[in-house]
Chains A and B, each alone.
Chain A
Amino acid sequence: MLMGCSCGNTREQNALYEEIGMISFVADELRLYLDTHPDCREAHSMMCEYLAQRSALMNEYREKYGSLEGYEIGHGSEWTWNDPPMPWEMREGGC
């Protein structure tokens, strides 16, 4: 596999990671909106749709690279939770 940058992540991994970030933000925004508009059907159905997409992306990431969530675990037999890079170490050049 082609290496994306010095952090050791591949470009494919970083692209999936970024996609998870974007779709999660939609959910963050909708969650706050629904807190003060609990009867909004439109926002509710958008939330369902985006969370389903997010769940699929998280599953794909976990199967390929290990879990981003503390209550989930990757498919391999190794403990990948603390594999670098940490989120604050992401940097230019592929990440």
Chain B
Amino acid sequence: MWEYEKRLQYPVKISRPDARAAKVILSQYGGPDGELGASLRYLSQRFAMPDARVAGLLTDIGTEELAHLEIIGAIVRQLTRNLTIEQIKQQGFDPYFVDHTVGVYPASAAGVPFNASYLQSKGDPITDMFENMAAEQKARTTYDNILKLVDDPDVIDPIRFLREREIVHFQRFGEGLGLLRENLNCKNYYQYNPAYRGR
């Protein structure tokens, strides 16, 4: 189970409304390489992970991703809560506004609703670990792109924190892959799925 702690993992203190920034950052809430997909990916993969250390790593990173989802939600909220109708129209936020007002909804920057096809849980520990390393890199690229599009230091600061976490997670998953490989049967030269031996 999970216990909620009433705090953000990293502080978000944004005073200036910016609908354009909100729209692109929302992609890290419910977009193709966003935090919702990340948390569901790792927390789902755990069940078929035979190595307890890596299953624990998936739990802990998956849990941190939920905290990142909350940080993104906080950023979007603080960027949109004081928008005027004029700003909403001028800054191209009207297509989002008409369906969600200034509520936080899991969708990509282009408005595509969250979809589980953004993630994979393949039931093969080696395959899943490569999926996760790629996912962390894709999320890092997305944060790099966001940093090219925003200029408010109050927005840049938590985005840089989240970008840094993608790099650390990539590193930890790489080590997790190493742990899995160490424990492979030496006859399993081609690294076939070590988690399922059904015939």
Contacts and interface: CB of A to CB of B under 8 A. Distances in A.
Interface of A: 17-18, 20-21, 24-25, 28-29, 31-33, 35-38, 67-71, 81, 86-88, 90-92, 95
Interface stretch (B6-14, B143-151, B190-198): B6-14
A28 B64 contact: yes
B61 A21 contact: no
Nearest to B58: A35
B172 A38 contact: no
Contacts of B11: 18, 21, 90
A88 B12 contact: yes
Interface residues of B, number: 33
Nearest to A32: B172
Nearest to A71: B3
A87 B5 CA distance: 9
A32 B51 CA distance: 15
Given A35-B172, A36-B175, A91 B7 contact: no
Contacts of A20: 7
Contacts of A38: 53
B57 to A, nearest CB: 4
Nearest to B172: A32
A4 to B, nearest CB: 13
A28 B57 CA distance: 12
B4 A70 contact: yes
A32 B168 contact: yes
A42 to B, nearest CB: 16
Contacts of A71: 3
Contact of B60 (A21, A31, A69): A31
A24 B4 CA distance: 14
25 contacts: A20-B7, A24-B5, A28-B64, A29-B168, A32-B168, A32-B169, A35-B57, A35-B60, A36-B53, A36-B172, A36-B175, A67-B6, A68-B5, A68-B7, A69-B3, A70-B4, A70-B5, A87-B6, A90-B11, A90-B13, A90-B74, A91-B15, A91-B78, A92-B13, A92-B15
B8 A88 contact: yes
B130 to A, nearest CB: 16
B32 interface: no
